[in-house]
Each structure stands twice: as C-alpha cells, then as structure tokens.
C-alpha cells in the first residue's frame, strides 16, 4: 500500500513534486526507491505521516488538503486495479447489487483490505442518515498534531471509492474527528444518499 500511495502522489504531483516532499519529510532514502509491488508491510505509518505533514508544510493547510484528497482518489484508482480482482468487488455479482447493499459490502471489503494489507484498524457503523468510517489506528495522521481533522487522504480514498461503487455519483464525505486533533478515533461521515 505504501507503493500505491507514492505512485498516486507521483500521478498528482509529478516525480519532482514527490521528490521535494520526500526531501522535506526527511525520507530521501525513498527517492527512486519505492516499496516493492508485494503484500509485505515495508512502508511505515511514520513515513506516511511524515509525507502528509510535509505536504501541508509545503502547500499550506488548504493546498495540502486538496492535494491529499486528490492523492487519495488516485490511491483508490491504482488500488482497485491491483487489488480489485483479489477482493472480488470487480465481479459482476457485486456490480448488480442494489446501491445500498453495494455501499455496505464496499465498506466491509475496504475495511478488511486496510486491516489485511496495512496496520490500520478500521470498522464501519451506520445510522439512519450516515455511514461512519471509524479508524482506530490511522496511518494517515500518524505522528501528527493538528487543530482540526487532517486525514484528507482517507477522505479522498472514500470519495473515489463511493464514486466508483455508485457508477459516478457523489456523496457527502466529511471527517468529523481525528486522532491528530486529540480525538479517540478518526471518524469520517458518509451520507447514505447520493448528492446528485
């Protein structure tokens, strides 16, 4: 998953942009040395947190937020190419499910993927209006301190995942709590009904 994050960053910012972020994050050893394309956990939460902190430092909180969300969207697109067949969410049986069921199954599969291929601890709950994507151990804000929620990469991943699962619809997606801001979990609310 670390390789996917770096490739997504490169897709959004270009190789020189990634190299600048890696230099600022003091991760020069990662320049031209991305983790291999395997399922080993060779990319630490420390590295991911440092990269995203450097993104905010270089582009400011607003610019960093926008870039992190775009990188998250690119992560989903790259991840679905690599992992979609393994996870079974590219199958015809999944695609013909009603939207509400596809969303629930998609969240479950994504949570299992994060737990299986990284050290994230994720669960999801729901109420009448929202799905609650709850991250109890979060690599996106790992080692960071923020005044407000800063898991914009995770928001981007969910945003693109919802767009993909729904066949092109947009949903309300907002992080309402964050470990880096002093909360006990990183929680992202997702509206159950598409906006468009």
> Which residues pair with residue 174 across a beta bridge?
189
Cα distance between residue 92 and residue 29, in whole Å: 42
Which whole-number Å values give the CA distances from 135 to 19, 157, 187, in the listed order? 29, 13, 6
Cα distance between residue 155 and residue 161, in whole Å: 10
> If you count DSSP H runs as helices and E runs as strands, how many of each does the chain have, helices first?
5, 4
Cα distance between residue 39 and residue 57, in whole Å: 30
Q: Where are the domains of the chain?
A: 2-191
Write out the E strands in the chain: 121-126, 130-137, 173-177, 186-191
Query: Which fold, 2-191?
Result: H-NOX domain (3.90.1520)
Per-residue confidence of the chain (196 residues) as pLDDT tens digits? 788 899 999 999 999 999 999 999 999 999 988 888 877 777 888 999 999 999 999 999 899 999 999 999 999 988 877 665 555 555 666 677 888 888 888 888 888 777 777 778 898 899 999 999 999 999 899 999 999 999 999 999 999 989 988 889 999 999 999 999 999 999 999 999 898 7
The CB density around residue 165, as the number of other CB atoms within 10 Å, is 22
pLDDT value, residue 120: 83
pLDDT value, residue 94: 67
Cβ-count burial of 24 within 10 angstroms (0-12 exposed, 13-18 middle, 19+ buried)?
middle
């Amino acid at each position: 998953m670390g390789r996917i994050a770096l490739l997504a960053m490169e897709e959004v910012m270009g190789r020189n942009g990634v190299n600048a972020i890696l230099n600022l994050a003091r991760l020069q050893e990662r320049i031209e040395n991305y983790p291999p394309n395997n399922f080993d956990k060779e990319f630490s939460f420390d590295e991911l947190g440092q990269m995203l902190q450097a993104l905010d430092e270089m582009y400011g909180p607003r610019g960093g937020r926008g870039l992190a969300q775009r990188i998250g969207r690119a992560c989903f697109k790259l991840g679905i190419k690599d992992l979609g067949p393994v996870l079974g969410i590219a199958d015809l049986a999944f695609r013909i499910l009603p939207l509400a069921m596809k969303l629930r199954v998609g969240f479950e599969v994504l949570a299992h993927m994060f737990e299986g291929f990284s050290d994230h601890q994720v669960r999801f709950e729901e109420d009448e209006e929202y799905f609650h994507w709850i991250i109890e151990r979060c690599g996106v804000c790992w080692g960071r301190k923020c005044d407000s929620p800063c898991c914009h990469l995770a928001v981007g991943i969910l945003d693109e995942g919802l767009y993909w699962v729904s066949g092109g619809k947009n949903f309300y997606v907002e992080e309402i709590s964050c470990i880096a801001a002093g909360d006990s979990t990183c929680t992202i609310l997702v509206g159950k009904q598409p906006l468009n």
